[in-house]
Copies of this chain bind each other. A is one copy, B any other.
Amino acid sequence: MYQVRTDLALEAREKFQDANVEVKGVKVTQDKPHGNMIVTKVSIETENGAKIMGKPRGNYITLEAPDMVDGDEDYHREISEELAKILRELIPMEKRELSVLVVGLGNREVTPDALGPRVVDNMMITRHIIRKFGKYAFGLTRNHQISSIVPGVMAQTGMETMEIIKGVLEETKPDYIIAVDALAARSTKRLSRTIQITDTGISPGSGVGNHRHAMNKESMGIPVIAIGIPTVVDAVTIVSDTMSNLVTAMEESKRLENIGESISYLEEAEKNELIRELLSPNLNTMFVTPKDIDESVKRLSYTISEGINMAFFPA
């Protein structure tokens, strides 16, 4: 049908769950809920699974907490701690001194796309200090070299984000990339309430502004951990989802029995064409976002930056 756009593996999985379809090659496990948090791991284990899910093979860990965006004195330290724990599982760092480049993807000037740049604003940056003063600069445990960059978006730079990052890698040779980005969800319910951490990097076409090509171990030569929070839903998704529901409702409704019958004679293709015809063409250039997105992005960027800081520099 029309392309359902979601950057969350969890939502891609739900689509099949809703249809009672089992997807081979995809494993889902869930931790026992603790605090207000639900941690789910979707592992795409085979190429077949990847094809069906529309996402590359690898692990997608989702941290859901309904109150994540609410005011809180510590910017939800318990969530930061859980994020740090997940990062330490994905990045083996015991007895090693890592060099890590944190990339803040997105456009600082568009509120729902500013998550990546704002996370970088709050990072503890250590590379230049350790290179100047040696690894004991911060005491024994704080010896990971953290660097960061906010590459901007193509309309601002005239360059592909990947060109910029690759150039930086060549000069500075980090061991890992952590890429932070605002995501697109399928459902407005997920917005500002879910963190996705994945070892598959960033895929083409994902993210709020679609501003990049693949950024993964294959293209970059080093592992890429991506951290994202959905802040928008594509306008096309939200409209076509609701219309699809309308058609389904008509089919099922007793009150609309006759209509339902008639619609059920329509081919699936005809139904889709009907819906597509009614979608305004410039909906493609629009997104849907909550009215309080400024507060959400501000709070969530602290939660994430603190999580990354804690992962590398535990108290």
Interface residues of A (CB under 8 A from B): 71, 73, 107, 109-111, 120-121, 124-129, 145-152, 154-160, 163-164, 166-172, 188-189, 208-209, 233, 235, 238-239, 242-243, 245-247, 249-250, 253, 255-256, 258-259, 261-263, 265-266, 270, 274-275, 277-280, 282-283, 285-295, 298, 306, 309, 315
Contacts and interface: CB of A to CB of B under 8 A. Distances in A.
A103 to B, nearest CB: 11
- Copy number in this complex? 4
27 contacts: A73-B309, A73-B315, A107-B294, A121-B156, A127-B159, A128-B158, A145-B158, A147-B157, A149-B152, A155-B295, A163-B171, A163-B172, A167-B172, A188-B280, A233-B286, A242-B242, A242-B278, A246-B274, A249-B274, A255-B270, A258-B258, A259-B259, A286-B288, A286-B289, A286-B290, A287-B291, A289-B289
Contact of A128 (B159, B167, B209, B293): B159
Minimum-distance CB pairs A-B, first 8: A167-B167, A127-B158, A147-B158, A109-B294, A258-B262, A259-B262, A163-B171, A167-B171
